């Protein structure tokens, strides 16, 4: 650079530059504004919305108080001006919520102190302001989620009309796969930036048939009135990628974010082999695909939450 300000850290990395903007602390949120959805089946699922105040798109870090899987899944403008809705999901069944630490570039804040160091960009707006508690990171890792949320799916669910309970289906689909990344030297209260991209859906298909003959069955053929029934059920679960922090390891695993079942029913009637009509029905939501997508590298940035408490 030929003009401006540049401070490098001890690793010769950029610490402050008038060409870029540091992220600065905006606030900490310990309670969600609302619970979007919650279920205890399929490994458990919690979906919360935090409403944060910011005039700039916020960058969210999570303090994850349990070893379950967490992820930020949505960042969108809120209903009130200068607010954003941040949606966070978590696996498991506990009621514990993550603390959300919000950062943004310095234009989102106004310092009340008049003591410190401010670095400006060439357009006159702040690039760095020491009064606004700039972000310091303690580590990071790039993670990829395993291609399968569950190692193997073995199902004996009911073929008829999706009759199996959510609890029974949840036992079939509860995710159990993860990749582990050791990250040493992290603080006792780490906070994590992780915007989830990976998605997967898995489905199991069950069908069954029944045949009734009111007359005499001769070599498999009905002499009289016969009815043939066919049932199909497609049980499915939709997963999203999450991360957990467990004894110095970041784990990239899966959260069951939605589930459902689609069923069809068909009855064909006949008299001595001649069709006399039938009946059919269907219901439930279709699974849309049975694959894993967005398995690209996902950045995880780690900081010390206690520095911003």
Binding-site ranges for another protein (CB under 8 A): 7-11, 13-17, 19-23, 56-57, 59, 72-76, 87, 105, 113, 115-117, 130-131, 133-138, 140, 193, 195-197, 199, 201, 238, 240, 257-258, 285-286, 288-289, 293-294, 296, 299, 301
The residue (of 88 and 222) whose beta carbon lies closer to another protein is: 88
The residue (of 141 and 222) whose beta carbon lies closer to another protein is: 141
Q: Shortest gap between Cβ of 278 and another protein (angstroms)?
A: 30
Q: Shortest gap between Cβ of 190 and another protein (angstroms)?
A: 14
* DSSP 8-state code for residue 78: -
Q: Shortest gap between Cβ of 285 and another protein (angstroms)?
A: 7
**3-class DSSP assignment, residue 12:** coil
The residue (of 133 and 251) whose beta carbon lies closer to another protein is: 133
Q: Which residues of 27-45 are buried (b: 16+ CB within 10 A; e: fewer)?
A: ebbeebeeebeebebbbbb
Q: Shortest gap between Cβ of 16 and another protein (angstroms)?
A: 8
As to burial, measured by CB atoms within 10 angstroms (0-12 exposed, 13-18 middle, 19+ buried), residue 78 is middle
Name which of 301, 168, 171, 292 is nearest 240 in CA terms.
Answer: 292
The residue (of 14 and 272) whose beta carbon lies closer to another protein is: 14
* Separation CA 152–CA 125 (nearest Å): 54
Q: Shortest gap between Cβ of 155 and another protein (angstroms)?
A: 20
- Are 180 and 300 within 8 A, CB to CB? no
The residue (of 136 and 272) whose beta carbon lies closer to another protein is: 136
C-alpha dihedral over 70, 72, 73, 79, to 10 degrees? 130
- Euclidean distance between the first and the last CA atom of the chain, given in angstroms as a whole number: 36
């Amino acid at each position: 650079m030929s003009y401006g300000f540049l401070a490098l850290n001890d690793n010769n990395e950029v610490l402050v530059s008038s060409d870029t903007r540091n992220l600065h602390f905006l606030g900490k949120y310990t309670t969600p504004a609302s619970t979007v959805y919650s279920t205890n089946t399929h490994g458990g699922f919690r979906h919360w919305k935090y409403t944060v105040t910011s005039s700039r798109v916020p960058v969210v870090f999570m303090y994850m108080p349990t070893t379950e899987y967490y992820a930020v899944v949505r960042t969108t403008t809120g209903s009130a001006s200068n607010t954003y809705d941040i949606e966070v999901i978590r696996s498991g069944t506990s009621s514990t919520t993550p603390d959300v630490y919000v950062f943004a570039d310095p234009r989102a804040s106004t310092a009340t102190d008049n003591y410190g160091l401010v670095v400006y960009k060439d357009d006159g707006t702040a690039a760095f302001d020491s009064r606004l508690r700039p972000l310091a990171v303690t580590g990071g890792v790039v993670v990829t989620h395993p291609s399968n949320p569950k190692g193997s799916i073995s199902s004996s669910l009911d073929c008829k009309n999706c009759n199996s309970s959510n609890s029974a289906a949840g036992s079939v689909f509860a995710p159990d796969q993860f990749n582990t990344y050791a990250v040493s030297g992290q603080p006792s209260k780490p906070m994590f930036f992780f915007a989830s991209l990976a998605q997967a859906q898995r489905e199991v298909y069950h069908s069954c048939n029944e045949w009734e003959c009111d007359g005499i069955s001769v070599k498999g053929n009905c002499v009289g009135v016969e009815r043939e029934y066919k049932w199909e059920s497609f049980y499915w679960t939709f997963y999203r990628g999450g991360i957990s922090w467990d004894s110095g390891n970041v784990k990239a695993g899966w959260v069951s974010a939605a589930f459902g079942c689609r069923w069809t029913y068909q009855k064909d009637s006949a008299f001595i082999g001649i069709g006399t009509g039938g009946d059919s029905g269907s219901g439930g939501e279709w699974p849309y695909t049975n694959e894993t997508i967005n398995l690209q590298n996902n950045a995880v940035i780690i900081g010390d939450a206690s520095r911003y408490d």
